[in-house]
Structure 1
């Protein structure tokens, strides 16, 4: 089995497309995000990670989807519209609302991702994954947050 086959299988089960999106995420941000939008599920992952790390990040985010985790609200819909007017408040809540800590949901997603990883073949970062048109603005905003001046000297 491959990650693409897993995404296809989950898409058939849920009736919603699952798209993997490599992105240059800002320093200090999570290595991956699960975004549930109106028409599809998106797994955004840091494109500069080693391939084996990319695989684990993707499987972790798919673990959230498989476990049907919900995000905790962090912004009211009104605040979301003021800060990010072009993005749907529900999308913002699902993306930013989850705790990125040792919460039960994070531990569960990591465990599920690790179990699935035992069945997945070798991950290849060579596949080109274009950013879908409806997610280009989000990808641009995330990439724009990355400021090279704040990077450590190790990169």
Structure 2
């Protein structure tokens, strides 16, 4: 934790944390809330050429949103990479509108009890001890440069043909 060089003040906020990590990485870290697919993860770290985005499920209670953001910051700080789950060619065939490197980085990470997930949770929890305010904005505006990514993530909702008759 000391290696991060977090400010010593007790009033560290998520925004200040993101700004600090962004300065360390020399690229902005932006948090965006949106409705993620119901069967999907509660949060995602998406790294693009210019920015790091942390997408968090908007329907979570604020304290859970905060923990998800801290967990994803843990991935950023640890610079976890995706393990290849599909080839670049397969990625282009299945998801032609998304950059294959982006697909591998997001979808390649295991969302289980892997070492990376445990490390991200631990780092996020340790950083969380420095956060003074556990209130989170219920809706974080989607920056213009992240709208395309947010729209693609929102489009991952289960197709209507897979929904049960009870839930049209």
* Length-normalised TM-score, structure 1: 0.90
Q: How many residues align?
A: 152
TM superposition shift of 1:63: 0.1
RMSD: 1.9
Gaps of 5+ in 1: none
- The whole-number CA distance in structure 1 between the counterparts of 2:103 and 2:141 is 22
Which of residues 9, 20, 39 is equivalent to 1:9? Answer: 20
| Larger Rg computed on CA atoms | 2
Which of residues 10, 30, 34 is equivalent to 2:41? Answer: 30
In the TM superposition, 1:1-155 aligns within 5 A as 1-126=12-137, 128-147=139-158, 150=163
8 Å contact 1:24–1:146 — kept in the other structure?
no
Q: 1:84 to 1:135 in 2, by over 3 A?
A: farther
* Length-normalised TM-score, structure 2: 0.83
**Segments of 4+ in structure 1 off by > 3 A?**
147-151
- The whole-number CA distance in structure 2 between the counterparts of 1:97 and 1:134 is 23
Instruction: Name 2:8's counterpart in structure 1.
Output: none
